[in-house]
Structures are given as structure tokens and as C-alpha cells.
Amino acid sequence: MAMINHQHIWAAVDALAARYKLTPSGLAKLAGLDPTTFNKSKRVSADGKQRWPNTESLAKILEATGASLDEFAALVAEVGGARNGGRSVPLLGFAEAGAGGYFDDSGFPVGSGWDEVLFPEIRDEGLYALEISGDSMLPVYRDGDIVIVSPAASVRRGDRVVVKTRDGEVMTKVLHRKTARTIELHSLNPAHENRVLPLSEVIWMARILWASQ
């Protein structure tokens, strides 16, 4: 049997959060801990020494979620056995995505301080996750759902996409048509209008590959 290591424990914390539709910071808050307790920056010290979650914090997240110790141990074994087939991807709140400093001009994540979620391995280093907030994307995506986005994936008509405009608006739509000058986007929520945008107003468009529904 493979030995449990630092990566396995932290990956199990991430997996527990995802199982209960939480981010790692959301899991920490639910357990009454500081929201940054499980941040990536807290997992390794400035001198490179590995930091492990303490038993008190683990006990609190199990109590908060109602998960058993056996369930957490199973997650440790699961992610430990699948580390070669899985990876952590950056996670950002959907509302925050409209702010500057999180993405480059092509829509790839930049900077540091992101939370992370565990996701099956795909050969795409630019993958990241967005947590949906609000009801503008109902009935397809609900508040708290997490979508995995790929700026590098090819986008075709009918694909669900995340689009960011020059005025900082970030939206999830369905690509209906793209011409040399415009992009036509259909809304997921019938209560919201479809959009036709000049391509010059679109900073980037990234395809949604997966959603935690």
C-alpha cells in the first residue's frame, strides 16, 4: 500500500470540500476556521517546509460537513491512488473574475493566492475553475456550482463558454455564431437576453469543459 504523504492529505481536504460543493476557503469558514486556513500558501512555509493540517482543523471540518473519519480516510486513499490521474486546478469566485489581475489577455490564470479543486487529469495546463454565484445562469448552473474552464480548447457553435469583455463583465453563455466582426451569444437563463458583441469588445472567450452538478 502506498504511503500517505503531504499531497494526499491536502488533496483529500480539497476533495471533501468539492464533495459538499464548497471551496477550501468555504469549508474552512463552515468549520469556524479562518478562511485562509486551507489556502495553498498555507501548505508550504516560506522556507519550503511542508505544513500539514492539524488534527483540530480536520476534526472541525468533519463535524461541520457531517463526514465520518472513515469517509475522509477513503478520500485520502482515493486521491493517493489517483495522483497520477488527477490534478489541482485554480479556483476563483465568478464575481471576482471580472476584476483585473487574475487573467492574462488570453484568459489564462495568473498571479497567486487562488484556492484549488481536484479535477481529473487533462493535458491542458491552462485549466481553471470558476464558482458560480447568483441565479443569472439558471437552470443550467446554480449558485455554488463549479465550472472547469479551458482557454486553450477550441470553441465551436453550441459550446458553453465564459466570456470577458473590456468593461470587466464576465458571463456564461452559449456560442451561437462568430463572424469576423461580431460574436453572438445565447443566454442559459431564458429571463436574460441574448447578446451580440463586437469582437473588439471581447478580451477572451474560454470553453466550459465540466461542471460540478
Q: Which DSSP symbol is given to 10?
A: H
Is the same domain home to 66 and 154?
Answer: no
C-alpha cell at 18: 468539492
How confident is the model at residue 195, as a pLDDT? Answer: 95
Contact indicator for 147, 208 with CB cutoff of 8 Å: yes
C-alpha cell at 175: 456560442
Helix, strand, or coil (residue 41): helix
Task: List, for residues 135-190, the tens digit of each pLDDT value.
Answer: 777 888 888 888 888 888 888 898 899 999 999 888 889 999 999 999 999 998 88
Give the domain range for residue 171. Answer: 90-211
Q: In CATH, what number is assigned to the domain containing residue 99?
A: 2.10.109.10
How confident is the model at residue 94, as a pLDDT? Answer: 64
Is the same domain home to 131 and 32?
Answer: no
Is the same domain home to 95 and 23?
Answer: no
Task: List, for residues 67-104, the tens digit of each pLDDT value.
Answer: 888 888 877 776 665 544 556 677 776 656 666 667 77
Q: Is residue 1 a part of any domain in this protein?
A: no
Is the same domain home to 160 and 191?
Answer: yes
How confident is the model at residue 189, as a pLDDT? Answer: 85
How confident is the model at residue 32, as a pLDDT? Answer: 95
Task: Identify the helix (H) or strand (E) that includes residue 6.
Answer: helix 6-19
Q: Kindly report the CA angle at 102 between 114 and 198, in degrees rounded to 5?
A: 140
Measured between alpha carbons, how far is residue 170 from residues 47, 167, 202, 206 in Å? 37, 9, 10, 11
Instruction: Decide which of 54, 81, 108 is a domain's last residue.
Output: 81
- C-alpha to C-alpha distance for 48 and 188, rounded to whole angstroms: 45
How confident is the model at residue 180, as a pLDDT? Answer: 92
Instruction: Decide which of 29, 63, 81 is a domain's last residue.
Output: 81
Task: List, for residues 121-138, the tens digit of each pLDDT value.
Answer: 455 567 788 888 777 778
Is the same domain home to 106 and 76?
Answer: no
Q: Is residue 60 a part of any domain in this protein?
A: yes
How confident is the model at residue 100, as a pLDDT? Answer: 63
Instruction: Report residue 39: phi and psi, to 5°.
Output: -60, 150
Among residues 131, 178, 195, the alpha carbon closest in space to that of 186 is found at: 195
Is the same domain home to 160 and 200?
Answer: yes
Is the same domain home to 10 and 32?
Answer: yes
Is the same domain home to 52 and 135?
Answer: no
Is the same domain home to 198 and 101?
Answer: yes
Task: Identify the helix (H) or strand (E) that includes residue 115.
Answer: strand 115-120
Is the same domain home to 21 and 56?
Answer: yes
Q: In the chain, what's the furthest Cα-to-Cα distance? A: 58
Instruction: Decide which of 81, 113, 138 is a domain's last residue.
Output: 81
How confident is the model at residue 161, as a pLDDT? Answer: 92
Structural domains in the chain (count): 2
For residues 9 and 126, the model is more confident at 9
Q: Is residue 203 a part of any domain in this protein?
A: yes
Q: In CATH, what number is assigned to the domain containing residue 68?
A: 1.10.260.40
Region 188-203: mean pLDDT is 92
Task: List, for residues 10-28, the tens digit of each pLDDT value.
Answer: 888 988 888 888 888 899 9
How confident is the model at residue 174, as a pLDDT? Answer: 92
The one-letter code for the residue type at 205 is: M
